[in-house]
Amino acid sequence: MSNQEWNDAWGTLRFDNRFTRELPADRDESNSTRQVYQACYSRVMPKQVARPTLVAHSHEVAEQLGFVPDLVQSQQFADVFAGNALHPAMDPFAMCYGGHQFGNWAGQLGDGRAINLCEIVDRNGQHQTLQLKGAGPTPYSRFADGLAVLRSSVREFLCSEAMYHLGVPTTRALSLVLTGDSVTRDMFYDGNPKQEPGAIVCRVAPSFVRLGSFQIFASRDDESTLRQLAEFTIRNDFPHLGEPSPEVYAAFFAEVCQRTAELMIHWMRVGFVHGVMNTDNLSVLGLTIDYGPYGWLEDYDPGWTPNTTDAQGRRYRYGSQPQVAQWNLAQFAGALLPLVDHDIDSLQAGLQLYVDTFDDGWHTMMSAKLGLDKFRGDDDVQLFADLFDVLQMVETDMTLFYRRLADVPCETEPESVCERLADVYYQPEQIDDSVQNATTQWYQRYQQRVLQSGVSDAKRRERMNRINPLYVLRNYLAQLAIDRSDQGDHSGVTELLDVLRQPYQEQPGREKYAEKRPEWARHRAGCSMLSCSS
Ligand code: AMP
Ligand code: MG
């Protein structure tokens, strides 16, 4: 296609590739697995695939980027977002980064299967990077193939958009395409590889820079590239902090800490478990990034992790996420030391801000989840702690618990509260006298606290339902959509996406999407346990 033809169809988009224009590139342009030094990225072409087919897209993201609906439906769109065609303004590259994986420094990682196509200035004047996940090998692919399969791509596509609609900071997903090629995966690492349909998600974010993007240069004593990346990031993504200087780098670190604390509060609020919180999977913008073996809490269990690869140590279990984020930020601080003239104290302030932001945010969030007027100190801390004990006595669906609690009128007999909440329990036969008593006692105190707040039942319900989602991407719901997609019926993905667009709103006729996990899904692969194989 000629430039003119591209312009006719894609003229509504504004390309502006800052990353490749301003940062140092790998001088080696061959696509071979290697260590890449003194460069933030390597130019690399997506792999050609057999038969690109668009399976789903987010019309909100398309619109924000400036795509007109006809273009989205065209074969050309599927071709571009499968990696088969390239707009002349695109300059594809894979990013170099490192990271701590499961607590150990892992050296160079990098975009092993992500290829950034371009940056687009969106309707709000914000730069957005468009990145294909699963578009073939790059210099960072190490021993793997650079590809992605349909099941993991559906999971990434749906969860990115679900998080956005929940109000949780996240990378977005523009499109999900099938490549027409098959990909071999050993889903359980048990020596039984299978052929699966290959797929590619186009992810979108103002920046895909991670904590590990800085760590790699610090680990190599490459202060020059470290500084270039830091200057670039501050000028483009944190311009309000001013011109780069040691003080500004400390302020930058503090802001990353603050955003990460806010992100953790959101994850805890909605019951999201990331599953692989390595430092290469934490964004400097405080976005949820890299949807792999993530999961959603069903019964309230702080020790739960969906990631079978982490089943032993459960480092990344739900209840540990805030501490893990803090640990990751401390590693990030280490990487920034050369930029603040090794003034550790200046970074310590950021770590303290993390703790303070998290504590404050946690109290505010928990008060809001319970529909209280505001956080009132130690008594409330005790009320929250006792609630978590009660929730763990029997298998209790976290999402439904808060929604049903909102429906219970304040003057309800405390003894009848278990009955009022009946459908939040996975195994009603577990509700014995001790559970009854503990729940009743907790509810009595809650009742008093609500009375003290002076909020009406209606007001409380409205408040609670604004912060406690009814529809989340339950693990089994995603799996049911995947099962249908594997059979060639992608309508489950589109329908689920549509439900998740309004997670706080009751949607008549869609009650089945708000139900707790059915028994058949308790131990089914994909529903309760996931490996990193994707
Ligand atoms: P993750 O923990 O999934 O974020 O991945 C850790 C590292 O492995 C990153 O550098 C990824 O790019 C790389 N990686 C994961 N899967 C693949 C794959 N199929 N091919 C190449 N690299 C991969
Ligand atoms: Mg990753």
Q: Are residues 55 and 129 in the same domain?
A: yes
Q: CB of 92 closer than 6 A to ligand 1?
A: no
Q: Are residues 322 and 226 in the same domain?
A: yes
Residue 534 lies in a domain: no
Residue 528 lies in a domain: no
Q: Are residues 49 and 175 in the same domain?
A: yes
Distance, in Å, from the CA atom of 328 to the CA atom of 2, rounded to the nearest integer, reads: 47
Question: 280 an active-site residue?
Answer: yes
Q: Are residues 144 and 109 in the same domain?
A: yes
Q: Are residues 228 and 280 in the same domain?
A: yes
Q: CB of 139 closer than 6 A to ligand 1?
A: no
Is the overall model pTM greater than 0.85, yes or no? yes
Q: CB of 209 closer than 6 A to ligand 1?
A: no
Distance 215 CA to ligand 1 centre (A): 17
Distance, in Å, from the CA atom of 485 to the CA atom of 468, rounded to the nearest integer, reads: 29
- HSE, side-chain direction, 13 A CA sphere, residue 341: 4
pLDDT in tens, the chain (534 residues): 888 888 888 999 999 999 999 999 999 999 999 999 999 999 999 999 999 999 999 999 999 999 999 999 999 999 999 999 999 999 999 999 999 999 999 999 999 999 999 999 999 999 999 999 999 999 999 999 999 999 999 999 999 999 999 999 999 999 999 999 999 998 888 888 999 999 999 999 999 999 999 999 999 999 999 999 999 999 999 999 999 999 999 999 999 999 999 999 999 999 999 999 999 999 999 999 999 999 999 999 999 999 888 888 999 999 999 999 999 999 999 999 999 999 999 999 999 999 999 999 999 999 999 999 999 999 999 999 999 999 999 999 999 999 999 999 999 999 999 999 999 999 999 999 999 999 999 999 999 999 999 999 999 999 999 999 999 999 999 999 999 999 999 999 999 999 999 999 999 999 999 999 999 999 888 887 888 888
Distance, in Å, from the CA atom of 316 to the CA atom of 102, rounded to the nearest integer, reads: 8
Q: CB of 31 closer than 6 A to ligand 1?
A: no
Q: CB of 109 closer than 6 A to ligand 1?
A: yes
Distance 51 CA to ligand 1 centre (A): 24
Residue type for 121, please? Answer: V
Q: Are residues 343 and 290 in the same domain?
A: yes
Give, in degrees to the nearest 5, the angle at Cα 490 between 488 and 496. Answer: 150
Q: Are residues 232 and 267 in the same domain?
A: yes
Residue 251 lies in a domain: yes
Substitution candidate for ligand 1 out of 140, 143, 203 with most atoms within 8 A of CB: 140
Instruction: Quote the tokens at residue 250.
Output: 């400390």
Q: Choose the final residue of a domain: 339, 367, 395.
A: 367
| 3 state SS for 67-108 | CCHHHHHCHHHHHHCCCCCCCCCCCCEEECCEEEECCEEEEE
Q: Are residues 415 and 339 in the same domain?
A: no
Q: Are residues 272 and 305 in the same domain?
A: yes
Whether the Cβ atoms of residue 247 and residue 503 lie closer than 8 Å to each other = no
Q: Phi/psi class of residue 533: alpha, beta or left (left: φ > 0; alpha: ψ in -120 to 50)?
A: beta
Q: Choose the final residue of a domain: 338, 367, 396.
A: 367
Question: Residue 130: which H helix or E strand, with range?
Answer: strand 127-133
Q: Are residues 111 and 227 in the same domain?
A: no
Give bridge partners of residue 195 from the DSSP assignment: 184
Residue 533 lies in a domain: no
Substitution candidate for ligand 1 out of 36, 113, 200 with most atoms within 8 A of CB: 113
Instruction: Quote the tokens at residue 234.
Output: 């501050």
Residue 490 lies in a domain: yes
Query: In ligand 1, which atom is closest to the CA atom of 146?
Result: 20
Domain boundaries, position 505: 475-521
Residue 330 lies in a domain: yes
Number of folded domains that form the chain: 4
Residue 337 lies in a domain: yes
Q: Return the sign of the alpha-carbon dihedral for residues 233, 130, 138, 27.
A: negative
Which ranges constitute the DSSP H helices of 12-67?
18-22, 59-65
Query: In ligand 1, which atom is closest to the CA atom of 147?
Result: 19
Q: Are residues 399 and 439 in the same domain?
A: yes
Residue 526 lies in a domain: no
> Whose CA is closest to 236, among 340, 330, 125?
125
Q: Choose the final residue of a domain: 405, 439, 467.
A: 467
Q: Are residues 189 and 218 in the same domain?
A: no
